Amino acid sequence: MMRKKRTAQRYRISAAPNHEKLPWPGLKAKDRLSRVATQAVKDAKETRETELWVEKQIARVLDHVPSETAATILFREIIRRENRELRESSSRCQSGNRGL
C-alpha cells in the first residue's frame, strides 16, 4: 500500500478564520435580555476562535522562518513598542504641563 506524500498546499496559510456557523435562536427572542446574553456568548466564542486561529497562523509561519530571524523580529518589535510608549507618555506629560 502506497502513501501519498504531503504537499505544501495542504498546510497553506489561510486568509481568514473559519468560524463555525451555528444557529442562534436567542437572537430572534423578543426579550432584550435573551438577545444580549446570546450575543455576548456568540462574541466570546468568535473571539476565542479568532485567537486560536491567530496562534495557529503564527505557528505555521514560524515553522518556515529560521529561529534567529524570528527572535530578531520579536526583539525589534518589543523595542519599537517601548519607544512608542515612551513617546506617548512624554507627550502626555508635556501637554499636561501646558495648562499650568
Task: Give residue 41's domain range.
Answer: 27-64
Number of folded domains that form the chain:
2
Determine, yes or no, domain membership for 58.
Answer: yes
CA distance 10 to 4: 12
Statement to judge: residues 50 and 72 lie in one domain: no
Determine, yes or no, domain membership for 21.
Answer: no
Long-range Cβ pairs for the range 48-53 (8 Å, 24+): 49/17, 49/19, 49/20, 50/17, 50/19, 53/14, 53/17
What's at 13, amino acid-wise?
I
- Answer whether residue 88 shows pLDDT above 90: no
* 20-61 residue pLDDT tens: 555 555 555 567 777 788 889 999 999 999 999 999 998 888
- Answer whether residue 96 shows pLDDT above 80: no
The single-letter DSSP state of residue 53 is: H
